[in-house]
Chain A
Amino acid sequence: AQSVTQLDSQVPVFEEAPVELRCNYSSSVSVYLFWYVQYPNQGLQLLLKYLSGSTLVESINGFEAEFNKSQTSFHLRKPSVHISDTAEYFCAVSDLRDDKIIFGKGTRLHILP
C-alpha cells in the first residue's frame, strides 16, 4: 500500500522569500502524485499533479514540483511567496491500479510580513 510523508507540519517563511515543502512517498508500483491546497475555511483544491512525462510540473500561481523517482520525492517549491499563499498544503499519491488518493498529514505554510 502506498503512503505519504510530509516532513514539516509547519513552515514559516518571510514574504517574497523562497519556500520548499517536502514530500516523500512509498509505493511498490508506479504512481500519480498531487499537491492539494486548503485555504482557510475552504475545501481542498488541486494545485498541481504529476501523471507522466516531464518530471517538473507547474501551477498557474507560481508553484512547481519535481518528481524524483530515485528519491521517491515530490517536493513543492515557490521562488517568492506572497501573503495570499497562506494555506495548508497536502501531498497525495495514487497508484495506477485505481483512483484512490492517499494524503499526507499536511504542511501549514505561514507567511511572515
Chain B
Amino acid sequence: ETGVTQSPTHLIKTRGQQVTLRCSSQSGHNTVSWYQQALGQGPQFIFQYYREEENGRGNFPPRFSGLQFPNYSSELNVNALELDDSALYLCASSLIGGTNTGELFFGEGSRLTVL
C-alpha cells in the first residue's frame, strides 16, 4: 500500500503571495486532515476533509482553504501569505468508520518559508 505523499517538500514565498500544497492520501483512506507545525511546536489542526466536504476546522482564518478530490487527494491553499505562516505543513489521512478509527497516517510535510 502506498503511504501519504506531499509536494513540494520545500518552498519559499514572499509576503502577500499565494501557495498551494498537495497531498495524496494513503490507499483506502477517505479522510484528509491538515496541520501546521511551527518550529518547536506541536501540530495545530487546520481542517479536515471527508468525502470532499470540510468536516471541521481549527482556529485558522479564511485565507486558509482546502479541497478534497474524488480520489481523496487534497490541496491546502493559503492566500495573502504572512511571515507567521512559515511552518511545516503536514497532511494526514485516515479512514472514518474503519477499525483504525482515529489513527492518522502522516506525510513528511511541506516546509514553507515566507520572506
Contacts and interface: CB of A to CB of B under 8 A. Distances in A.
Interface of A: 4, 6, 32, 34, 36, 42-46, 49, 51, 90, 94, 98-106
A93 B112 CA distance: 26
18 contacts: A36-B106, A43-B4, A43-B109, A45-B106, A49-B102, A51-B101, A51-B102, A90-B42, A90-B43, A94-B102, A99-B48, A99-B94, A99-B96, A101-B33, A101-B104, A103-B43, A103-B44, A104-B42
B26 interface: no
A90 B56 CA distance: 21
Given A46-B105, A106-B42, 16 more contacts: A6-B42, A36-B104, A43-B90, A43-B108, A43-B109, A44-B43, A44-B90, A44-B106, A45-B106, A90-B42, A94-B102, A98-B55, A99-B48, A99-B94, A100-B48, A105-B41
Contact of A34 (B48, B90, B103): B103
Nearest to A42: B108
Size category of the binding interface on chain B = 20 to 34
Contacts of B104: 36, 44, 46, 101
